[in-house]
Amino acid sequence: MGTGRAVVLVVFIGVGAVATVEGSSGIERLLRLLTSYGAYLAITIGLLGVLASMLPPAGRAWPLVLLAGGCAALAVQRGWLSMSVVPNLAGLAALGIGGWLMARGPRTRDRMDPVRQLIAVMLPRTLTSQAGERLPAYLTVLTVGARVVVDLRAAAVPPRQTMQLAVSCWAFGSVELRLPEHWAVVGGRLGPTFRVRMIGKADTKELLADTDAPAATDVLADVRSARLRGKLGADAADHRAAAIVVHIAGFGGRVVLADR
């Protein structure tokens, strides 16, 4: 799900919540609030968008705090905050924080953990590896109606040169996997699955349900070697490749192997 659809979703949830709790009078107060302060809201959202596009995630906290504090101080000085408006603002803030938490998902534990998890519900998420970052042995991705991008192009080769990726797509969610061109992709277990498509071509038609089996170890080694030689040619001896084993389950959705 794109950002625009996510915003529309949050708006519909907010209007529905106001209508359910407050009825028509609540809708009227919400419309008056948006009419009176819509321009300021648009400016604030625009500034936040510019800030998000210019700064890395680690550097966005203090400008956001300053911006929120300055806006609150200005509102108090100008007398814009009255007791009749505060409940509406609190409701909008709660919706905004809820949407942000949905998009952000749970915090990932230590990056060195052998197992990591990524969850996206209705709002898009992106997992981008840092340069030379060591990947876990097992990564699970659960998406419900959201688009998830897993970008591992800058990562180091995982332990044993293999990483298992367990994808669970529901309600037409999608997962896009971006890998270094010389890494291989192998199909794994197919769990309870209905209308989940894989877009892109794996490096072998053989499915590996158990990557620890001796036969699977040989298949992974052959696939890695073939992909490495095919993409790097004479330079293959100077590089190491990984094999990503993709397990799929879910109801409605797709798994995209980028550029494959």
Instruction: Please give the angle made by the CA atoms of 109, 114 and 115, to the nearest 5 degrees.
Output: 65
Backbone angles phi, psi at 246, to 5 degrees: -105, 115
Name the residue among 127, 130, 186 with its Cα closest to residue 155: 130
pLDDT band at 92 (very low <50, low <70, confident <90, very high): low
Residue 2's Cβ-side half-sphere holds a number of Cα atoms within 13 Å equal to 2
Q: Which range has highest mean pLDDT (68-72, 165-169, 214-218)?
A: 165-169
> So what's the pLDDT on residue 140?
92
Average pLDDT on 190-215 reads 86
| 3-class secondary-structure state, position 123 | coil
Distances (CA, A) of 25 to 29, 31, 33, 84: 6, 10, 12, 12
Q: Quick one: average pLDDT of 46-60? A: 59
Specify the pLDDT at position 108.
Answer: 45
Residue 112's pLDDT is 45
Quick check: 141 and 248 in contact, CB under 8 A? no
**Residue 107: predicted pLDDT:** 47
Between 109 and 72, the more confident residue is 72
State if pTM tops 0.75: no
